[in-house]
Amino acid sequence: MDPALARKHLNRELNVARAAQRMPWGPADTDYWVEMFPKLARALPVEEAAVLQAAFTAELERLRAV
């Protein structure tokens, strides 16, 4: 996958999660992003992918605690 396209998708979903006060996706969509986020991140440089994945994981933990 093109890194620019992967970055666009990853940042869009991360921004959705950051802006949310509660889980912004239903269970099926949440499962989809839990699975797809790391797959898309593989298109990026390792350090950038790790930062985005850690941020996404942190947001999911925050949202699941609500």
Given this model, what pLDDT does residue 39 score? 96
Tens digit of pLDDT for each residue in 23-53?
999 999 999 999 999 999 999 999 999 999 9
pLDDT band of residue 1 (cuts 50, 70, 90) is: confident
Tens digit of pLDDT for each residue in 9-25?
999 999 999 999 999 99
Q: What's the angle, vertex CA 29, arms to CA 5 and CA 42, rounded to 5?
A: 35
pTM for this entry: 0.93
